[in-house]
Amino acid sequence: MYKYDQYDHDMVQTRVEEFRDQVRRRLSGELTEDQFRPLRLQNGLYLQLHAYMLRVAVPYGTLSSTQMRLLGDIADKYDRGYGHFTTRQNIQYNWIKLEETPDLLAELAGVEMHAIQTSGNCIRNISSDQYAGAAADELIDPRPYAELLRQWSSFHPEFLTLPRKFKIAVIASETDRAAMKLHDIGIKMVRNAAGEIGAQFYVGGGMGRTPMIAPMIREFVPLDQLITYSEACLRVYNRYGRRDNKYKARIKILVHELGKEEYTRQVEEEFQHLLGQGIEPPLAELERIGQYFADPAFETGLSDDLDVSDPDFRLWVEHNTAPHKQAGYIIATVSLKPVGGIPGDATADQIRLMADIARDHSFDELRVTHAQNIVFPHIKKADLYAIWQQLEAAGIGTANLDTIGDIIACPGLDYCSLANARSIPIAQKLSERFVPKQEEIGELKLKISGCINACGHHHAGHIGILGVDRKGKENYQLLLGGSEGADTSLGTITGPGFDEDGIVDAVEKATEVYLNKREDGERFLDTYRRIGMAPFKEAIYG
């Protein structure tokens, strides 16, 4: 994985000391809260419902064991013994003290991490495929391109005050595991007819109150023009994106209002202008970065056999592993969704255990997924059973990836000052209710947001749930038919909302329709797409 050079180290350390001085001035009264608020947000420090919350960036979800171990230690030392992995592949701490934040950030800087650009109207953490560099189905490792984009976007002076926040995802597989088309810019690495690798650009996607699927605006951008084309996309947005209304300020609104063709025309015009400016880093820089992502020293000649005579282990292997590109290895995902648990939460001990496993068995690497789980990208099949036993003993050996128990849920009204309703209790009730039916139902992606900002990706759930405030009471709307994969679609609201118990019953009725109507091999989403909303509405509202 990428290692900081001296410039990176200096930049992050300088920022820590700058923030230390800003905190000192705030505590001494030299800065008012109005003056200090943008400064703390630029360093990832929010004020949430109960306390300060710190969001730490995990670039494209990749962590070393050293970094992961420190995240566990921070949970103990500065928080209340746990952290929350987010749908942006980051981690959040919910109980941070302002006066301790500079020391915390200094510890993060020591392992090449920070919280910069995890808030504000700037380019946020670049996200990517959690199986990058390991997946059997990928064209190429997307992380060098994500890293190049990270370096380009970090402290980019022109893009630190955009009309709104800006999110970029990079993938390199036909299977989209990063919700690429629901980003401001989605980049898919592709090979053209001449056999060259390049980037396909999708611009103007997003969730929130106005969900949109990004249209493709360019089929192929050569690698030596990747940054220049990205800059052109951002420049047109920065110039014409709306600043008069924050609800219409995302690039998706600009692309929608201009139309894909006109936005693309303007980007191409800006692109031609920028090509003459020489802003593209030399390809040698991309090659330098790429060396950090070279394959680890995989053993060869390993057996692909896996003893799954333990039925619980077999179930975990069936759900929580994926094929690896190297014979004898496998990708393993740790579900942070134990039955009745809090999606994405992990204790300090669990975090350190995963760090130890990565150090000893996964070439020192872990990945955070946008579904709030953790991946060991390179596990020898021969080691897998012993690893699962360790996870199981620590309460994180649940076999439920991509099932109805693997629920994405935002922190909701239990933690978030923007939320209108609680998300986590709904996830807990659903995961408990559906334990007996999980295997019968099969793949079903259920996502819950506690407000219209859609941090829980409810628009993209096969079943989505949106919490709203209805005259001071929590109310939950049900959506069906969303997807964030290569077949991206947006869910449709079924009808009137439900209370806390009613929404759990409504989900059960929807799954019963699926079980009664499905044809061979159909997932919930397939059946919904074939038969449409009507049978579900009839069953739910009768």
Partner 1 sequence: MKILTGNDLKSGAVTWWTGEGWSLHVNDAADVGEHFADVIAREEAARNVFAAYVIDGERTAEGVRPAHIKDRIRALGPTVRPDLTLKPADPEALNWVI
Give me the residues paired with residue 91 across strands.
56, 85
Which of 39, 98, 382, 486 touches partner 1 by CB under 8 A? 98
- Residue 58 CB, shortest distance to partner 1, in Å, is 23
In this chain, which of 3, 6, 33, 521 binds partner 1, going by CB under 8 A?
A: 33
Return the structure tokens found at 532.
């449409």
What is the sign, positive or negative, of the torsion defined by CA atoms of 490, 491, 497, 498? negative
Give the Cβ contact number of residue 336 at 10 Å: 24
The reply on whether position 21 binds partner 1 by CB under 8 A is no
Q: Which amino acid would we find at residue 341?
A: G
| Pair 36, 22: CB distance under 8 Å | yes
Q: Map residues 234-253 to x or -, x wherever contact with partner 1 holds by CB under 8 A.
A: --------------------
Per CB under 8 A, the list member of 180, 414, 527, 540 interacting with partner 1 is 414
CB of 32 to partner 1, least distance (A): 8
Q: Is 99 in the site for partner 1 (CB under 8 A)?
A: yes
User: Near partner 1 by CB under 8 A, which window of 94-102, 172-180, 395-403, 502-510?
Assistant: 94-102
Residue 96 interacting with partner 1 (CB under 8 A):
yes
Contact 115, 374 (CB under 8 A): no
**Three-state SS at 263:** helix
Q: How far apart are CA 468 and CA 458, in angstroms?
A: 12
Is the Cβ–Cβ distance between 271 and 232 less than 8 Å? yes
Is 26 an interacting residue with respect to partner 1 (CB under 8 A)? yes
Nearer to partner 1, 412 or 461 (CB): 412
Nearer to partner 1, 96 or 185 (CB): 96
Distance from C-alpha of 272 to C-alpha of 275, rounded to nearest angstrom: 5
Structure tokens at 276: 């003459």
**Strands 197-203 and 216-222, how do they pair?**
antiparallel
Interface with partner 1: number of residues (CB under 8 A): 28
413 lies in the site for partner 1, by CB under 8 A: yes
Contact criterion met (CB below 8 Å) for 236 and 163: no
Draw the binding track, 438-477, toward partner 1 (x: CB under 8 A; -: no contact): ----------------------------------xxx---
Evaluated on CA atoms 516, 519, 522, 528, the torsion sign reads negative
Site string for partner 1, 152-191 (x = CB under 8 A): ----------------------------------------
Nearer to partner 1, 53 or 146 (CB): 53
| Tokens representing residue 361 in the block | 């068995």
Nearer to partner 1, 80 or 537 (CB): 80
Report the SS3 class of residue 432.
helix
For the bound state, the minimum distance from the C-beta of residue 411 to partner 1, rounded and expressed in Å, comes to 9
Q: How far is the CB of 330 from partner 1 (least distance, A)?
A: 33
What distance in Å separates the CA atoms of residue 361 and residue 534, rounded to the nearest whole number?
Answer: 49
Q: Are 491 and 528 spatial neighbours (Cβ–Cβ below 8 Å)?
A: no
308 is an interface residue for partner 1 by CB under 8 A? no
CB of 475 to partner 1, least distance (A): 11
SS3 474: strand
Closest residue by Cα to residue 407 from 512, 337, 339, 491: 337
Task: State how far the Cα of 248 lies from the Cα of 466, in Å rounded to an integer.
Answer: 20
Q: Which is nearer to partner 1, 467 or 491 (CB)?
A: 467
In terms of CB distance, is 190 or 418 closer to partner 1? 418
Regarding 406 and contact with partner 1 (CB under 8 A), the answer is no
Residues numbered 190-209 forming contacts with partner 1, rule: CB under 8 A? none
Chain residues 487-516 in contact with partner 1, contact rule CB under 8 A: none
| Cβ neighbours of 192 (radius 10 Å) | 12
Amino acid identity, residue 328? G
Binding piece for partner 1, criterion CB under 8 A, among 21-29, 237-245, 279-287, 359-367 = 21-29
Distance of closest approach, residue 23 Cβ to partner 1, in angstroms? 10
Cβ of residue 424: shortest distance to partner 1, in angstroms?
A: 5
Q: Residue 171: phi, psi to the nearest 5?
A: -130, 170
Q: Measured from the CB atom, is 232 or 427 closer to partner 1? A: 427
Tokens of 415: 């933690």
Binding segment for partner 1 (CB under 8 A), chosen from 110-118, 329-337, 354-362, 417-425, is: 417-425
* Cβ nearer to partner 1, comparing 65 with 428: 428
Of residues 54-93, those binding partner 1 (CB under 8 A): 80
- Label residue 500 exposed, middle or buried (CB < 10 Å: 0-12, 13-18, 19+): middle
Residue 27 Cβ vs partner 1, minimum distance, rounded to whole Å: 7
Residues in contact with 207: Cβ distance below 8 Å, sequence separation at least 6, in sequence order: 182, 454, 457, 458, 459, 460
Which of 124, 422, 447, 523 touches partner 1 by CB under 8 A? 422
CB of 41 to partner 1, least distance (A): 13
366 within 8 A of 63, measured Cβ to Cβ: yes
- Of the listed pieces 2-10, 27-35, 176-184, 193-201, which binds partner 1 according to CB under 8 A? 27-35
Q: Phi first, then psi: what are they for 471, rounded to 5°?
A: 55, 45
- What 3-state DSSP class applies to 108? helix
Q: Can you give the binding site for partner 1, defined by CB under 8 A?
A: 26-27, 29, 33, 47, 49-52, 80, 95-99, 342, 413-415, 417, 419, 422, 424-425, 428, 472-474
